[in-house]
Amino acid sequence: MECQECSAGTVQFAVPTEYDAYLPGEESVVALCTRCLAIQPATTATGEPDFGRVSDAFPSSPEAAVPLALLLGLLENLALYRTEITELLDAVERAGTDPLLALDRLARDPDIDTDLDLSGRRRQLEQLL
């Protein structure tokens, strides 16, 4: 599946029911763009998602990668999704990954080309926490 925003490849994954509330629609499968980090609805997810296709900075375990991916989808509206973002940050951390460090690494990844200022959002998240 190609990204609707930039036509790059995506990583499709099923969203566990515990994270349903963090999606704007009724999707149970979403796709994360490997270039612009956009989240979009998808039709199917086959097997274990390979988040390493996004970046080496992305957590390898789905327990940390899924909430981090959903977090990226909400960062554009930090004020609107403050509670959800805080909960997703906690979920990533409980899964054994430092979410702020992951954002730093994603911001420095030369293959990531997102309109979102990841470094700026990271600073805002640090203040939020």
Would residue 65 count as lying in a domain?
yes
Domain count within the chain = 1
State the pTM of this model.
0.94
Output the 3-class SS for 52-106. HHCCCCCCCCHHHHHHHHHHHHHHHHCCCCHHHHHHHHHHHHHCCCCHHHHHHHH
Gap between the Cα atoms of 99 and 14, Å rounded: 21
Would residue 2 count as lying in a domain?
no
Would residue 86 count as lying in a domain?
yes
Would residue 4 count as lying in a domain?
no
Tens place of pLDDT per residue across the chain (129 aa): 899 999 999 999 999 999 988 887 778 899 999 999 999 999 887 788 999 999 999 998 999 999 999 999 999 999 899 999 999 999 999 999 999 999 999 999 999 999 999 999 999 998 887
Would residue 90 count as lying in a domain?
yes
Residue 101 structural domain: 10-128
